[in-house]
Amino acid sequence: MSGNAILVVDDSRTIRNQVLRILSGEEDGYVLHPQENGQQALQWLSGRNEAELPDLILLDRNMPQISGDECIRILKTDDAWKQIPVLFLTAQSDVKQLVHGLAELEADDYLAKPFDPDELRARVKALIRVKTAEDQTRKLNKDLENSLVIQKKAFSDLKDTKLQLAETEAAVRLTRVFEKFVPKEFLKRIAPDGLENLKFGQAESDFKTILFSDIRAFTQLSEAYSPQELLDFLNNYLRMMNPAIMEHHGFVDKFIGDAILAIFDRPDQSDADEALDAVDSALSMLAVLDSINETLSAERKARVDIGIGIHSGNVIIGTVGFEERMDSTVLGDTVNLASRLENLTKYYNCQLIISEATMALIGTENRHQIREIDLVSVKGRLEPLQIYEVFDADRHEQKQAKLQSRDNLGEAIQLYRRQCWDDALERFENCETIGPEDPLVQIYINRCRHNRIQPPGPDWNGVHAFDHK
């Protein structure tokens, strides 16, 4: 297959067409296989060998002949099929029914109809990434699988004894092992009474600052390494980045392939302190990256670049899953927006972008070098968003040029938003004289020249819209 295969099963032609339309334009290049009902889906699967099986099944619960519930029961009885993650598409809103679908039927996730296109894309991408990671783990490291089996048995044995885990030496050892998979900061929230009382579905809402980091052009990087070399590089990269986060009072929620999702949580400090911790951590990560690139250069290997996005807002912290399989997680628009800001670093060719919410917390009188970038709209968010670049980690010459042109750049941006194209262009060109290699200045120069020829119209509000996630 040229891309990840997805089996779409729904008796509604409207829903099938909607799903196909949403996913067919993804850059990931999904191969979509629509089926009208559960019987057709099972027949289609029966005609496929293991290599031809889909990477994900989108399954409607309410269908004639064979329901989604019955269909997934059949899937879970087959050794080859049960490894395929299932995302329920359901119009049901009853909590018990949803829990039944996730816990007892072993569906991996659900999405309520009508669903948001961005949420569907995000759920699909997340499930496929998890499936890919699990497949790679099974192939590259059988020892880890055996270790996890031993740990699960040890946990089960301790649970059966009904002993207070904190009172035994075995509990201490188990907790240390468990913390390798679940951050201890999460354990304090989701298992305050001990691991033996850990339950899925526990959640709480809080205001936090989220950092999202990703390696650029990771696909090209992976093509230059053997599987073992790639795994060794990635493990070393993540191991070196983790202290840069922990030293600034953050902790890693997830390693998502080459991406890092970190939370900054200091209960004894203010939201502003947590936001500053996140920015400080990002700059430390960029310093670590310089060290990594020095080593790669000495080994005659290509350098690595990363992008970092930071946003502050309300998040949901808790556990998802069922009794036999659960995971800690942080959810919400704040997490999604941090990821989108990281993605925007590629367009603006910079390393670190923060949101207006984070900027408001740290204030203008902070110790960092920051400049306004743009007013943007991104998918999944109705209101425009002011974004800023933190450029402390730039090379000395670049940083000095940005500092020297910062005030002029800010005035030029205001003229640009008032559609004063000639005056704005003159200011941007002055900035270009100071920093000829400044990508942001070049972006605005090109926009001004284009808008002089094709004005955006009187209702234009200066917002640059991004159609991608």
Specify whether the CB–CB gap between 175 and 195 falls below 8 A. Answer: yes
Whether residue 231 has pLDDT greater than 80: yes
Mean pLDDT score, 17-39: 84
295 and 313, same domain (yes or no): yes
348 and 424, same domain (yes or no): no
What mean pLDDT is reported for the chain?
83
More confident residue, 222 or 213: 213
Task: Provide Rg for the chain, Cα atoms.
Answer: 25
Cα–Cα distance between 54 and 5 in angstroms, integer? Answer: 5
451 and 422, same domain (yes or no): yes
Specify whether the CB–CB gap between 305 and 346 falls below 8 A. Answer: no
Q: Measuring CA to CA, how many Å separate 138 from each of 12, 82, 144, 383, 442? A: 36, 15, 8, 43, 47
Cα–Cα distance between 294 and 17 in angstroms, integer? Answer: 50
107-128 confidence digits (pLDDT tens): 888 888 888 888 888 888 888 8
DSSP class of residue 258 equals: T
Q: What is the pTM of this model?
A: 0.59
Structural domain ending residue among the three candidates 372, 390, 408: 390
Preceding peptide of 439 cis, ω within 30°: no
112 and 253, same domain (yes or no): no
252 and 376, same domain (yes or no): yes
DSSP 159-217: HHHT--GGGSHHHHHHHHHHTTTS-HHHHHHH-TT-GGG--TT-EEEEEEEEEEEEETT
The CATH number assigned to the domain holding 94 equals 3.40.50.2300
The CATH number assigned to the domain holding 308 equals 3.30.70.1230
9 and 96, same domain (yes or no): yes
The total number of structural domains in the chain stands at 3
Structural domain ending residue among the three candidates 390, 418, 449: 390
Determine, yes or no, domain membership for 159: no
Cα–Cα distance between 223 and 212 in angstroms, integer? Answer: 24
Determine, yes or no, domain membership for 354: yes
Residue numbers of the domain that contains 427:
396-465
235 and 335, same domain (yes or no): yes
214 and 348, same domain (yes or no): yes
How far does CA 398 lie from the centroid of its chain?
29
277-305 confidence digits (pLDDT tens): 999 999 999 999 999 999 999 988 888 99
Nearest to 57 by CA among 32, 74, 78: 32
Specify whether the CB–CB gap between 384 and 376 falls below 8 A. Answer: yes
SS3 390: strand
Please list the residues that pair with 275 across neighbouring strands: none
Confidence of residue 69 (pLDDT cuts 50, 70, 90): confident
225 and 309, same domain (yes or no): yes
126 and 189, same domain (yes or no): no
Determine, yes or no, domain membership for 122: yes
Specify whether the CB–CB gap between 375 and 464 falls below 8 A. Answer: yes
